[in-house]
């Protein structure tokens, strides 16, 4: 009995350590991400009159017009959406977002006196967009957000035929367009460049450079193809049972997960072994557990 309790206590202790380490990792990434966003804003974009989308973009415009610190608007404009998110989306997400927004606001306040690295608006748009996108991506991966418009978009998407991305793009169309009236149309176009680069960098940070892809293959040569994927790509495969809707015939479906860099090789393997095979490949945002780690092929 004592051994059993000891084992249970050990397992519980290990679980607490794991949970604590995950929590600390999330906090660290939120701090790092919010800090990078502050750098991207105050060292690159804001001094060159370049804005981002969403609440950040509106805050930059208001700070320019009123000469109040940017951080004040970042907090004030996000608060109503955070309250909405707390009630509708969840406590953890809302608190993580509030924590990240406060860090970003404090960061912009501390960095405001620092001189801009470049006064070239194109360089500022490119490097500011890269740093901003990395920062936002880290915060999103940690379970938070830095912009209240995303919360609104999530809520609207539940009751409309539009996706979150489409709703955010609709908001940002007007926000980025308004930069033309405030800063001039040249700066509005630079803002669009910065926004596009930041958008792409967010995707890279969230999905990773070595993006995973799910693969579904239906073929009469499923065993041959499955073995080729295992021994030539070093990836595990799973055979699923399927049934043709028209013929009623039993089918074997090959399922596997590969990286983006292995996609071309997989297509050549399938085409070589069964040119008539059905092949579907989709993006995966995250892979956890199982046997995804690549096998060493000798």
Residues 6+ away with beta carbon under 8 Å from 29: 138, 139, 141, 142
Q: Are 178 and 225 in a shared domain?
A: no
Tell me if 85 is assigned to some domain: yes
Residue 13 has pLDDT above 60, yes or no: no
Residue 5 has pLDDT above 50, yes or no: no
Q: Are 235 and 177 in a shared domain?
A: no
Q: Which domain holds residue 148?
A: 12-207
Give bridge partners of residue 214 from the DSSP assignment: 257, 282
CATH number for 239: 3.30.70.120
State the average pLDDT over residues 92-108: 89
State the average pLDDT over residues 105-129: 92
Residue 85 has pLDDT above 80, yes or no: no
Tell me if 109 is assigned to some domain: yes
Check residue 35 and give its pLDDT.
Answer: 94
Residue whose entry in the numeric block shows the structure tokens 């065993």:
223
Out of 207, 225, 252, pick the residue that ends a domain.
Answer: 207
Q: Are 198 and 217 in a shared domain?
A: no
Complete DSSP assignment for 156-182? HHTTSSS-HHHHHHHHHHHHHHHHHHH
Give bridge partners of residue 217 from the DSSP assignment: 254, 279
Residue 4 has pLDDT above 50, yes or no: no
183-192, long-range: CB < 8 A, 24+ apart: 183/49, 183/50, 183/51, 183/64, 184/49, 186/121, 187/48, 187/49, 187/50, 187/121, 190/48, 190/50, 190/121, 190/122, 190/124, 190/125, 191/50, 191/51, 191/52, 191/57, 191/125
Q: Are 263 and 184 in a shared domain?
A: no
Q: Are 163 and 261 in a shared domain?
A: no
Rg over CA atoms, the chain: 24
CB 137 within 8 A of CB 204: yes
State the average pLDDT over residues 2-8: 47
| Mean pLDDT across the chain | 83
Structure tokens at 71: 């951080």
pLDDT per position as a tens digit, 33-60: 999 999 999 999 999 999 988 889 999 9
Q: Are 55 and 198 in a shared domain?
A: yes
Question: Secondary structure of 195-216 in the HEC alphabet?
Answer: HHHHHHHHHHHHHCCCCEEEEE
Q: Are 144 and 241 in a shared domain?
A: no
Q: Are 140 and 31 in a shared domain?
A: yes
Complete DSSP assignment for 245-277? TTT--EEEEEEEEEEGGGHHHHHHHHHHH-TT-
CB 27 within 8 A of CB 131: no
pLDDT band at 290 (very low <50, low <70, confident <90, very high): low
CB 226 within 8 A of CB 216: no
Check residue 287 and give its pLDDT.
Answer: 66
H helices present in 40-69, as ranges: 54-66
Cα end-to-end span (Å), the chain: 47
pLDDT band at 129 (very low <50, low <70, confident <90, very high): very high
Q: Which residue has the higher pLDDT, 238 or 292?
A: 238
- Give the C-alpha separation, 127 to 17, whole Å: 38
State the average pLDDT over residues 118-124: 92
Most confident of 13-17, 81-85, 95-99: 95-99
Q: Are 141 and 226 in a shared domain?
A: no
């Amino acid at each position: 009995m004592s051994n059993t309790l000891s084992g249970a206590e050990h397992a519980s202790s290990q679980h607490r350590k794991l949970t604590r380490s995950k929590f600390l990792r999330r906090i660290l990434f939120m701090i790092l991400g919010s800090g990078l966003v502050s750098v991207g804003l105050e060292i690159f974009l804001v001094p060159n009159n370049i804005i981002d989308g969403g609440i950040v973009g509106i805050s930059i415009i208001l700070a320019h017009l009123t000469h109040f610190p940017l951080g004040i608007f970042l907090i004030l404009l996000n608060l109503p959406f955070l309250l909405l998110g707390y009630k509708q989306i969840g406590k953890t997400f809302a608190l993580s977002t509030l924590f990240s927004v406060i860090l970003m606001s404090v960061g912009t306040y501390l960095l405001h006196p620092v001189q801009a690295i470049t006064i070239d608006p194109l360089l500022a748009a490119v490097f500011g967009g890269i740093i901003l996108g990395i920062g936002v991506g880290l915060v999103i991966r940690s379970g938070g957000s830095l912009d209240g418009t995303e919360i609104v978009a999530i809520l609207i998407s539940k009751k409309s035929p539009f996706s979150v991305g489409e709703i955010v793009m609709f908001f940002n169309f007007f926000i980025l367009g308004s930069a033309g009236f405030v800063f001039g149309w040249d700066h509005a176009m630079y803002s669009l460049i910065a926004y596009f680069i930041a958008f792409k960098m967010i995707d890279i940070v969230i999905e990773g450079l070595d993006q995973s892809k799910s693969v579904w293959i239906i073929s009469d040569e499923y065993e041959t193809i499955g073995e080729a994927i295992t021994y030539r790509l070093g990836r595990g495969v799973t055979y699923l049972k399927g049934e043709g809707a028209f013929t009623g015939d039993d089918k074997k479906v090959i399922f596997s997960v590969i990286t983006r860099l292995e996609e071309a090789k997989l297509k050549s393997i399938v085409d070589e072994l069964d040119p008539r095979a059905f092949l579907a490949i989709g993006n995966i945002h995250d892979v956890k557990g199982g046997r995804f780690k690549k096998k060493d092929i000798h």
